[in-house]
């Protein structure tokens, strides 16, 4: 294991020590809620999966804020920058931590309630939805790192809300948009397209965050 990997592991261990208990409690609560909806629910199974995805989507935005805010407000970023840790390692550690949270929660909630549902020819859809969650989490990290608390927390949700409002209005006027997620996710080709866009968004958000952190003075990383 080289020095860079060791530093990444140390950063992940730090986040786990600070936030691990609360993260696990939050995940446990959502898994329990998902299981209850599955066990007692009377709605169609695809509707249940839509609800579970929505829960995961909201948490995907929350993980980024959770893991960045404390570092900014407590001045931890200043301390980390005084160590041999490189900015690239710092950014990648946060991205890895959030990605682990997103992947574990999506896997636990979706597979627990519907393994057979996804295995019935929907594995590609499961992967596509995971990539959407990861992309949104990466945008959340980028926004929270770049902006202050209120704007950094809310901007990703506002952008998604605006996009969905435009898509909904277009659909109701009888001229649905070609990038309407609901339509794209109904076909294999559409899933591949939206998964590709999500992957590109993830890479773009991480790259922009890394460039901004490297260009920023330490005081700009604090609140």
Q: Concatenate the DSSP letters of all residues of 98-153 into one string.
A: HHHHHHHHHHHHHHHHHHHHHHTT-HHHHHHHHHHHHHHHHHHHHHHHHS-HHHHH
Q: Can you give the pTM of this predicted structure?
A: 0.91
- pLDDT tens digit string along 102-114? 999 999 999 887 8
List the chain domain ranges: 3-221
How many Å apart are CA 47 and CA 142, to the nearest integer?
31
Are 198 and 134 spatial neighbours (Cβ–Cβ below 8 Å)?
yes
Tell me which residue of 146, 149, 145, 130 sits closest to 202, measured CA to CA. 130
Flag whether pLDDT at 91 surpasses 90: yes
**Least trusted range by pLDDT, from 57-66, 78-87, 131-140, 209-218:** 78-87
**If pLDDT is split at 50, 70 and 90, which confidence band does 193 have?**
very high
Flag whether pLDDT at 1 surpasses 70: no
Tell how far CA 189 is from the center of its chain: 23
How many Å apart are CA 222 and CA 92, to the nearest integer?
18
Average pLDDT over residues 160-186: 82
How many Å apart are CA 128 and CA 185, to the nearest integer?
9
Q: At what angle do helices 149-172 and 45-73 cross, to 10 degrees?
A: 150
Beta-carbon contacts of residue 203 (< 8 Å; ≥ 6 apart): none
Average pLDDT over residues 148-166: 89
How many Å apart are CA 7 and CA 13, to the nearest integer?
10
Highest-pLDDT range among 17-21, 45-49, 96-100: 96-100
Flag whether pLDDT at 220 surpasses 90: no
- pLDDT tens digit string along 35-69? 888 888 777 878 888 889 999 999 999 887 788 88
Most distant pair of Cα atoms in the chain: their distance: 58
Highest-pLDDT range among 26-35, 62-71, 169-178: 26-35
């Amino acid at each position: 294991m080289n020095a860079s990997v060791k530093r990444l592991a140390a950063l992940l261990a730090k986040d786990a020590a600070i936030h691990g208990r609360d993260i696990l409690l939050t995940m446990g609560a959502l898994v329990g809620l998902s299981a209850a909806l599955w066990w007692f629910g009377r709605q169609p199974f695809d509707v249940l999966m839509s609800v579970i995805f929505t829960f995961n989507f909201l948490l995907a935005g929350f993980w980024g804020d959770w893991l960045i805010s404390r570092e900014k407000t407590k001045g931890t970023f200043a301390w980390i920058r005084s160590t041999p840790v490189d900015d690239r390692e710092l950014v990648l550690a946060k991205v890895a931590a959030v990605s682990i949270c997103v992947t574990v929660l999506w896997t636990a909630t979706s597979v627990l309630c519907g393994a057979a549902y996804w295995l019935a020819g929907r594995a590609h859809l499961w992967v596509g939805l995971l990539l959407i969650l990861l992309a949104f989490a990466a945008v959340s990290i980028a926004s929270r790192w770049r902006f202050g608390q209120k704007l950094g927390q809310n901007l990703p949700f506002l952008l998604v809300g605006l996009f969905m409002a435009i898509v909904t209005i277009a659909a109701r006027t009888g001229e649905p948009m070609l990038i309407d997620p609901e339509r794209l996710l109904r076909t294999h080709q559409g899933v591949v397209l939206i998964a590709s866009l999500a992957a590109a968004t993830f890479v773009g958000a991480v790259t922009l965050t890394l460039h901004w952190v490297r260009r920023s003075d330490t005081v700009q990383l604090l609140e």
